[in-house]
Structure formats: C-alpha cells, structure tokens
Amino acid sequence: MGWWGKAVGGTLGLLVGGPWGALVGATLGHGLDRGTALVDLFGPLRAPERARLQQVFLETTFTVMGHLAKSDGRVSETDIAFAESVMTRMGLDDSGRRAAIRLFQEGKSDSFVLAPALAEFRRLSDGQIQLHLIFLEIQLAAAYAGGVPAPAERLVLEQIRVGLQIPAASFRRVERLIQIQAQILGGGGAWRGGGTRGERPGTSQRPAAGSLSGAYAVLGVTPKATDAEVKHAYRLLMNQHHPDKLVSRGAPAEALKMATQKTQEILSAYETITRARAAGQP
C-alpha cells in the first residue's frame, strides 16, 4: 500500500530520537516503501547511534557557527541573520530554534573548545564525506556572510578542515563555490538567499538565486563556462547534496531537509541555464 514503511520508520525514530528521530525514521521508511533494501537504508549506523548523530550534528553546526562568528572579535547582525537562515532551512520549530540559539551562544563563549566538538562529530559520522562537505559548506557560507573572512576566521575554517579530515582539494572546491555565490548573490550566497554586508536576508537588490545570474552562482560557474563545464558543475553538486545518499548513511533529519532544498535549487539553476542557452541568451 506504500505507507507501512513510513509508519514503521517514523514510529521507530520517534521512540529512539524524539520528533527529529521520527522525521529521519519516516524518511528511511519512505525508502522501504519504494522497495529499497533494508540493509542499504539503515547503513552502518544502529538506531541509537543515528539518534546521537542527529543530536551532535545540530549541536556542532550551531556551536561552531557561533565560535566562527566570535573569532574575529564581535558577532554582527549579519552573523545572526545567517544563523537564522540556517534554522529556517533546517525547518526548526520554535523549540528547535531556541535550542539552536542557545547552542550558538555556547559557541561564542570563551569556554567553548573547538577540537573536541569536531572530534565527536567526526567519530559519529566517520566515512560520511557528503555530510562533512555539507557541514563545511554551511560554515564557509557563514564565514563569507560578512565579506572576506578575517585571518582568525580562516584559522577556524582550517581547524574544521583538519578536524573532519577533509582533503585540501575538496575544501578549495567548496570555498570557490561559496566565493562565487557571495560575489553574485551577496553575503551567505545561496544559503542565505542574497543580502550584502550588514543586511538582513531579502533586503538586497542583488540578483535572486532564481535569476539567470543567480543560477550561475548556485552552480558555482560564470556565464563564460562552457556547456560541458556547466553540466560537470551540476553533476558534482547533485552528487554532493543528493539526499538519497544521506539517507543510506542514517544522516540527521536537518541535513536531509537542507540537502533536499539544495538539490531542488541546483536542478532549478541548471534548467534555468540550459533554457537560457537554448534560447540564445548568454
């Protein structure tokens, strides 16, 4: 009937990990409804480990974001606005947003130590390169939300790269994407939906992500890119963000929601560019 997997998965997730666990469980159950193999869906993580990863992903995302924001001396309105945009992308309810704000504040405190937080996240997500890259993309976008990162912010970003054992080439590729998005769409790029330094989301006159120039920014290429380069960028980003791969590894619900949004944006951007080029637009 196409519903039992969601029901079983959602119930299991709720028992193990609360409301966020229910969302993850229902997503896994959807895979069962589609006929996906049980062993592939549940991946290497048992339910308690998956629930713990879900919690730690949220904690690490916002504490590290707060630590990064404070690293250059002060937390700006731009930093806060970006954090709020990530909460929105995660679909956090009022309780979840309060928890995220508390975590952001913890990350700002002098008592917060970055290395152990990254070590615990990496331990629970060992081998989940896609999840690590999404986490890195969020933190890089946060760093560029207020302009070019200061030296202190760059130090934190390097600690993140080393702590999660992300190859330097992968780090540079993700940073280049964020740089292009920031140049075209403004601070925070496609994660924030536009805005320049010191502005709240939605107040900028810069191109929207749905415009042609915004579409190029979402894919991290310029209008001078060849058709082959555009397609390569599209496929690379889809591979990095596709939620099916996160589901198979037991990724957190918040990461799944963001990945789903990103794949929709990436697909829309690619379609916008291909339509424009077919019509003879540059």
At residue 210, the pLDDT reads: 67
What is the average per-residue pLDDT within 186-202?
A: 48
* Count of domains for the chain: 2
Q: What is the pLDDT of residues 111-143, one digit of tens each?
A: 999 999 999 999 999 888 888 999 999 999 999
At residue 188, the pLDDT reads: 58
CA distances to 65, 103, 121, 278 from 108, in Å: 8, 9, 18, 49
pTM metric for this prediction: 0.70
For residue 102, give the amino acid letter.
R
| Residues 25 and 88 grouped into a single domain | no
At residue 121, the pLDDT reads: 95
Using the predicted structure, report yes or no on whether residue 108 has a pLDDT greater than 90. Answer: yes
At residue 146, the pLDDT reads: 87
Name the band, by pLDDT with cuts 50, 70 and 90, for residue 36: very low
| Residues 56 and 175 grouped into a single domain | yes
| Residues 22 and 113 grouped into a single domain | no
| Residues 32 and 95 grouped into a single domain | no
| Residues 35 and 50 grouped into a single domain | no
| Residues 27 and 165 grouped into a single domain | no
What the block records as the tokens of 166 is 């992300």
| Residues 96 and 121 grouped into a single domain | yes
Question: How far apart, in whole angstroms, are the C-alpha atoms of residue 63 and residue 66?
Answer: 5
| Residues 67 and 183 grouped into a single domain | yes
Task: Choose the weakest-confidence range: 24-28, 52-56, 208-212.
Answer: 24-28
Closest CA to 254 of 138, 146, 171: 138
Check if the beta carbon of residue 136 is closer than 8 Å to that of residue 177: no
What is the average per-residue pLDDT within 225-250?
A: 81
| Residues 13 and 82 grouped into a single domain | no
What is the average per-residue pLDDT within 61-88?
A: 94
Instruction: Provide the domain limits for residue 15.
Output: 1-42
Name the band, by pLDDT with cuts 50, 70 and 90, for residue 260: confident
| Residues 224 and 272 grouped into a single domain | yes
Position with higher pLDDT, 269 vs 26: 269
| Residues 19 and 112 grouped into a single domain | no
Name the band, by pLDDT with cuts 50, 70 and 90, for residue 242: confident
At residue 172, the pLDDT reads: 95
Q: Is 264 exposed, middle or buried (0-12, 13-18, 19+ CB in 10 A)?
A: exposed
Closest CA to 156 of 99, 192, 117, 198: 117
| Residues 32 and 165 grouped into a single domain | no
